[in-house]
Structure 1
């Protein structure tokens, strides 16, 4: 089927698949100006008439459509899940999306989501900070120690995600998933995002590891640097070396 406009596709999809829904919100790249040829439609739906909550992928009107179907009793649970893991995907969709149906309900949901987003994620505990320092150090040591290009590429990818997450969480910022992690970092601190990107390109294109090491060490230095000796998860009484 020929692809029609994203708004018309969203409206027709909701009318066909969820005719009794109370509210529907079109979100994602298409409403934020960052759409590409492969972008899909993300639609949050509040529907009391069927078995919810669930997430399902459809293909209609030339679009791939991701439907996030919630109820009045369950949407808050998913809001809280996003807050706990600091990846507020649903909150962002509700706060930044465009109403398709049920404007008053959508506005109320959006206001609640915006309040949560403005409050920011819960601060890292000391244990969470130490774990991040340890895991970044472990990945960096693995990268510096390998001569295997394939292994190095996978290690660098893990290291990049860890460094971006560290910068965002220590800065009191929300995380993102996939491309949204980089977008979140770029929005929070463009210079830091550029520095990480340049360090990654130095490794991917030139096989130079030093820029990633320098970036990692400078990022962790204000928080005590890489943590190796003494790091633990849980307590192990009576286990040690005299």
Structure 2
């Protein structure tokens, strides 16, 4: 950890001498680093060329850079909260401040930590219906698949989307990849449940050809959030060639 922080500070000083603030987040800070882990460094610049994302190497580290202005950082933090997936919020909220020339480093860290602890807004309305419909549709695909490969591909998607609905539908952060398992574990700790264990067993048995545990997992998630949805699901689309509605600008 100490070596990672020292190297991260050195790369900020070398590549971003004009930076207002910088933070080290990710696995080396969270305590889940592996031999393949990189340095996730967020940098706040006064203006252009930010915002951008960049991947480089520094010393022996692969480095993921998230370079922002004040306004772009606010945009991505708000987008995280609205979408329920705290990528930037976590990089700031659970971080080591590497540089803070004007107080913005500590301020953004506090703001993000507060948002991270509060969790996202609960899915409602069309957003909830869309997730229910997606899980219902995938559940049907898995149930009725003829081909083993098709069933497995759909099963993986169903496990992911059902976990998304479970978490975000319960006003809990969700994630992709390894963060599915981590967010399910956090949710279980909060709710005193065993969804992570069920999710893992469902994936393992589905890979072996038995999708029964996965179907039960998805059914139970749907039951928590209004049940399956197919008949009556409707979303309005957009036609760019259509004339504007009366009174619109």
TM-score above 0.5: yes
Q: Where do residues 5-20 of structure 1 align in structure 2 (5 Å cutoff)? A: 5-20=3-18
Is the Cα contact below 8 Å between 2:89 and 2:113 reproduced in 1? yes
* Aligned pair partner of 1:102 in 92, 100, 103: 100
* Aligned pair partner of 2:222 in 216, 220, 223: 220
SS at match of 1:73: helix
1:197 counterpart = 2:195: no
1:26 counterpart = 2:24: yes
Q: Unpaired segments of 5 or more residues in structure 2?
A: 238-249
Is the Cα contact below 8 Å between 1:20 and 1:49 reproduced in 2? no
* Aligned pair partner of 2:210 in 192, 208, 212: 208
- Structure 1 residue 49: deviation in Å? 5.9
Deviations 1:69-107 (A, max 9, x none): 111232111111111211121111111100111173321
SS at match of 2:71: coil
Q: Unpaired segments of 5 or more residues in structure 1?
A: 236-242
1:57 counterpart = 2:55: yes
- Looking at structure 2, the residues matched to 116 and 202 of structure 1 have their Cα atoms a distance apart, in angstroms, of 36
1:196 and 1:232, CA in 2 relative to 1: closer, same or farther beyond 3 A? Answer: same
- Looking at structure 1, the residues matched to 37 and 122 of structure 2 have their Cα atoms a distance apart, in angstroms, of 33
1:115 counterpart = 2:117: no
The two structures, once aligned, show a CA RMSD in angstroms of 1.8
Corresponding residue for residue 242 of structure 2: none
1:226 and 1:49, CA in 2 relative to 1: closer, same or farther beyond 3 A? Answer: closer
Report how many aligned residue pairs link the two structures.
231
Is the Cα contact below 8 Å between 1:21 and 1:49 reproduced in 2? no
Deviations 1:121-178 (A, max 9, x none): 1221222222212111111111121132222222112111111111111211112232
- Looking at structure 1, the residues matched to 21 and 120 of structure 2 have their Cα atoms a distance apart, in angstroms, of 27
- Looking at structure 1, the residues matched to 229 and 120 of structure 2 have their Cα atoms a distance apart, in angstroms, of 24
Corresponding residue for residue 244 of structure 2: none
Deviations 1:22-52 (A, max 9, x none): 1110000001110011111100101116411
1:222 and 1:46, CA in 2 relative to 1: closer, same or farther beyond 3 A? Answer: closer
Is the Cα contact below 8 Å between 1:164 and 1:182 reproduced in 2? no
- Looking at structure 1, the residues matched to 115 and 70 of structure 2 have their Cα atoms a distance apart, in angstroms, of 17
Corresponding residue for residue 175 of structure 2: 176
Is the Cα contact below 8 Å between 1:140 and 1:159 reproduced in 2? yes
1:19 and 1:49, CA in 2 relative to 1: closer, same or farther beyond 3 A? Answer: farther
Corresponding residue for residue 243 of structure 2: none
- Structure 1 residue 232: deviation in Å? 1.6
